[in-house]
Structure 1
Amino acid sequence: MRTCLGTANQARHSDAFVSASLRQSHRCASALTDKEIEVNWFWDAFQQTEIIENRKRGSDAQIDAKGALRSINELEEKVDRLSLLCHALFEELERTTGFSEAQLKEKMTQIDLRDGRSDGKYDPVLGSDCPDCGRKVKKTRSNCFWCGASLRTLG
């Protein structure tokens, strides 16, 4: 039933679609009933609408992807600048105070463990000071990571 309208299905642009569909309908009129021609025309119109909508979605996705790439590039530039800043600061600190790379690594480990995990990340969301040792402890802990003191208030 759909073979007569095959070329209309291949039309990609809305103007070309309508004229190709009408030409094809007239050529195949003897092979198809009026009802079949009408159904085929509406089906082709529906498919063309879907194609147009999917092209728009694809275009929108490309715009979103370009925006994401811009954001990634900006973040990479910020990371590069921060890396340069850290290297410059450490070299100056090492030159002026003699603070060694081993001391820096130890300090990084101490800061990393402030949240109770050695995960290589800085988590500035700290709770309060431990009542026993005075060190900063994350709000989610029930005991001080450093001295083990209970952080729950008796109620």
Structure 2
Amino acid sequence: MELFWEISQNQRINQASSAAESASSKINRLEREVKELERRLDRLSLACQALWELNRDQAGITDGELQRRMTEIDLRDGTRDGKIAVTILVCPNCGQRSNSRRQQCIYCGQPVPAKHTFT
């Protein structure tokens, strides 16, 4: 009887060990993805700052004007949440509705023109 119990326990231990290894592997992958996203965010932040300073210096736009425009764009969807809202676009090829974050229609595969440059 003890032999069956030991076999059962060993199977459970092996299953738990396998699950732990899988979770560890997933964590490592997610950590790498987060680091890559942080790197990309840092580069985009740097690019945005450089573009803003060029515009400010060359066009004479003030920081206040930038903040007001950011708020205006943020409120276009009726919610002040610091994000550009996802909108529904109509595919010019097949007429189906598509999410503005997609570059191609999920129905026909044709490119869907973006409503905004950065969405």
1:110 aligns with 2:72: yes
- Measured after TM superposition, the shift of residue 95 of structure 1 is 1.0
State the alpha-carbon separation in 2 of the partners of residues 124 and 55 from structure 1: 42
* Paired-residue identity, %: 35
User: How many residues are paired up?
Assistant: 90
- Measured after TM superposition, the shift of residue 120 of structure 1 is 1.4
C-alpha RMSD of matched pairs (Å): 1.6
User: So what's the TM-score if we normalise by structure 2?
Assistant: 0.71
The residue that corresponds to 2:110 in the other structure is none
Match of 2:7 among 45, 50, 56: 45
The residue that corresponds to 2:51 in the other structure is 89
Q: Which amino acid aligns with 1:123?
A: A
- Measured after TM superposition, the shift of residue 122 of structure 1 is 1.4
Against the structure 1 CA distance between its residues 126 and 114, is the aligned structure 2 distance closer, same or farther, given a 3 Å change threshold?
Answer: farther
1:78 aligns with 2:40: yes
Structure 1 stretches of 4+ with a deviation exceeding 3 A read: none
State the alpha-carbon separation in 1 of the partners of residues 10 and 29 from structure 2: 29
